[in-house]
Amino acid sequence: MWSIRERTLKMIMEASRDALPNEFGALLRAEHQIIYEIALVPGSINGPVHVIFRTYTMPLDFSYVGSVHSHPSGNTHPSDADLHMFSNTGPVHIIVGYPYNMNNFSAYTRNGDPLKLNII
């Protein structure tokens, strides 16, 4: 069962609001299936309908468990591009949607299946 710290989710929502009108994106860091931090990827490119992670700029870190990104449209369903990225970057992925409140997010597995994510 995956969980996320409430303060981490609040930070994600704030960063997503700050990125408007562009998407926000980061990697998730966890221990014992508890997401406790986000990690910004150097050189990421954020646009109105995409985030491009330059994964070659990241240090090797086994605490990364997936990704988070925002959808300014408010839709928290993954696109085909999202699903492709999920399959390459870890077991848990979060999409947050405008207006970036604590109720407008969805979590998915690397295969794009919905995932229950507890807020602690």
CATH number at residue 65: 3.40.140.10
DSSP state of 57: G
Task: Give catalytic status of residue 14 as yes or no.
Answer: no
Which among 74, 112, 66, 64 is positioned nearest to 96, based on CA atoms?
74
pLDDT digits (tens, 9 = 90+) for 88-104: 888 999 999 999 999 99
- Domain count within the chain: 1
Residue 79, CB-side half-sphere exposure with 13 Å CA sphere: 11
Q: CA 28, 39, 36, 5: dihedral to nearest 10 degrees?
A: -80
Per residue in 22-35, pLDDT tens? 999 999 999 999 99
pTM attached to this predicted model: 0.90
Which is the catalytic residue, given 6, 14, 23, 37?
23
Position 2 scores a pLDDT of: 97
Amino acid at 77: H
Q: Which domain holds residue 100?
A: 2-119
- Residue 87 is predicted with a pLDDT of 84
